[in-house]
Copies of this chain bind each other. A is one copy, B any other.
Amino acid sequence: MSESFFTSRWVERPRRLRDSAALPAGFRFAGIACGVKDPTSAGLDLGLLVSDVAGTVSAARFCDSGVLAAPVVVTQGRCDPHGIRAVVANSGNANAATGEPGIEQAIRVQEAAAAALGLDPRQVAVASTGVIGVLLPGERIAAAVPDLAAALERDPTGFAHAIRTTDVLDKHASLTLDLPSGSINLSAQCKGAGMISPRFATMLCFVQTDAALREQTAELLLGVTVKRSFDRISVDGQLSTNDTVILMASGASGVAVAPESEDELRFGEALDALLRQLALRIVADGEGARRIARVHVRGGEEQKVARVARAVANSPLVKAALFGGDANWGRVAQAIGAALPGSAPLRFDIAIEGVTVARDGAAAEHDAGALAAAVAREEVAYEIDLEGSGAETELFFSDLSYDYVKINAEYTS
């Protein structure tokens, strides 16, 4: 790995976490072409991930859409959340809004994989991403499971590619972390490019480690780190039906991460950095994106701070200006006002890349040249201060480009 996985200035890489070719012990992966995306194509679209260690501990998070895809319903309802040993994931079909037949197809896939791997179906998660409203070809997938199982190998690359849809950037990582109790490895495979909202994203993310975690540790750390990563990104403000994040800890390194230990603190920092960088990779890979941005909002009320951050991050006007490299801060002001109706006159400051453009709700004199140069870069930081203090939040978002429209106007239904 020539370039570091950690490329954003908005993620601090913990000191003892490094890029590494070593993979977490205990896991195998496969990715094959099954014809879900397109029966005539050889594109990878079916992936399998399995832990060979009986005591593997897992934790999982899902989106909260009112329209949950069948694989989310099946994994949430039929799996032991802390005992997931395998994941079957497909791209090309979300198996969402497919009703009872969709549930049946997801179960069929789950059971076929359990049989092939000698596991209980409760240990096998299913995940799907792709077009909504088309029944998953579960029979075709079930028939391909033996080939899929036969293709299992240590290298996760095929699996990582099989879960991609419109993704362009790689979103997988393998890292080594030195803990006081010993070294452990982490790997992750992630997908996501459109239908990405702060309330999660159309994304799948699978994280493996050979550290030994207790159930409550896996649960706690995944919960906290998902809130600080996938819960804070917006490509288009559109909540998906299929979002799934699964952490699996095989314990095969022999290094145990005990609750409230220095190990736990360090492991949590590493997981946090990993998920934040993956989330930023999703934003940077936002369909058609040229630039990404961070909006950081401070103020006296949690709810107002959150509403302002989302209004700015989801504003097509702010996003189009970001794409154009246009320092149109008036649109940020517009989004702030829209987020807090009925509260005029609002007092707020706006700074873009450290250049204060508005103070107390009104235009502030500033160096237009410095500002123009700042917004032409690949990452742009917006700072917004509302009245009061004690509450703050951040969101990461992509721009709105011609290609976003092109991809979403032409992406076959």
Residue among A195, A320, A357 with the highest chain B CB neighbour number at 10 A:
A320
**Residues of chain B within 8 A of A100, CB atoms compared:** 362
A334 at the B interface (CB under 8 A): yes
Encoded as 1 (CB less than 8 Å from any B CB) or 0, chain A from 191 to 215 comes to: 0001101010000000000000000
A99 within 8 A of B: yes
Q: Give A357 to B98 CA distance when docked, in angstroms.
A: 11
Is residue A343 contacting chain B, with contact meaning CB distance below 8 A? yes
**A67–B236 touching, CB < 8 Å:** no
The verdict on A236 contacting B342 (CB below 8 Å), with A96-B333, A134-B363 known, is no
Give bound CA distance, A120 to B102, whole Å: 69
| Least CB separation from A343: chain B residue | B66
Give Cα A315 to B400, complex, Å: 13
Taking a contact as CB atoms under 8 Å apart, the answer to whether A326 and B358 are in contact is: no
Shortest Cβ gap from A68 to chain B (Å): 4
In the assembled complex, A355 has its CB within 8 A of some CB on chain B = no
- Residues of A144-187 at the interface with B, using a CB-CB cut-off of 8 Å, are none
- In the complex, per-residue mask of A82-107: 1 if CB is within 8 Å of any chain B CB, else 0: 00000000000010111111100000
B99 and A238 form a contact (CB under 8 A): no
B195 adjacent to A317 (CB under 8 Å)? yes
- CB contact between A335 and one of B238, B324, B407 (< 8 Å): that residue: B238
Q: A330's contact among B97, B236, B361, by CB below 8 Å, is which?
A: B97
In A309-345, the 8 Å CB interface with B consists of: 315-317, 320-321, 323-324, 326-331, 333-345
Interface of A is mostly: loop
Known interface pairs A327-B413, A340-B66; A334-B241 also in contact (CB < 8 Å): yes
> In the complex the two chains form, is A320's CB within 8 Å of B358's CB?
no
Complex contacts, A238 vs chain B, CB 8 Å: 315-317, 331, 334-335, 338
With A323-B405, A361-B97 already in contact, the answer to whether A330 and B410 are too (CB < 8 A) is no
| Whole-angstrom CA separation of A329 from B132 in the bound complex | 8
Q: Which parts of A48-91 form the interface with B (CB within 8 Å)?
A: 64-68, 73
A277 CB → nearest B CB, Å: 25
CB distance from A363 to the nearest CB of B (A): 5
Let me know if B197 and A410 touch, CB within 8 A: no
- In A195-245, which residues have CB < 8 Å from any B CB? 195, 197, 199, 236-241
Contacts of A358 in B (CB 8 A): 97, 133
A192 to B135, CA, bound (A): 42
Min CB–CB distance A287 → chain B (angstroms): 9
Any B CB within 8 A of the CB of A123: no
Q: Specify the chain B residue showing the minimal Cβ separation from A290.
A: B409
* Residue of A131, A240, A409, A410 with most chain B CB atoms under a 10 A cut-off: A409
Contact (Cβ within 8 A) A132 B331: yes
Complex Cα spacing A344 to B315, Å: 27
Which B residues are CB-close (under 8 A) to A362? 97-102
- The answer, among B197, B329, B357, B405, for a CB contact under 8 Å with A405, is B405
> Smallest distance from the beta carbon of A117 to chain B beta carbons, Å?
29
Name 11 A/B residue pairs within 8 A (Cβ), A-sorted: A65-B338, A66-B346, A67-B346, A97-B362, A98-B363, A132-B333, A236-B317, A238-B315, A238-B331, A320-B404, A321-B408
Q: Give the B-binding residues of A (Cβ under 8 A).
A: 64-68, 73, 94, 96-102, 131-135, 194-195, 197, 199, 236-241, 315-317, 320-321, 323-324, 326-331, 333-346, 357-358, 360-363, 400-402, 404-413
In the complex, the 10 A-B pairs of residues with the closest C-beta atoms, listed nearest first: A132-B330, A99-B362, A67-B337, A324-B409, A328-B413, A320-B408, A239-B338, A65-B337, A66-B340, A133-B330
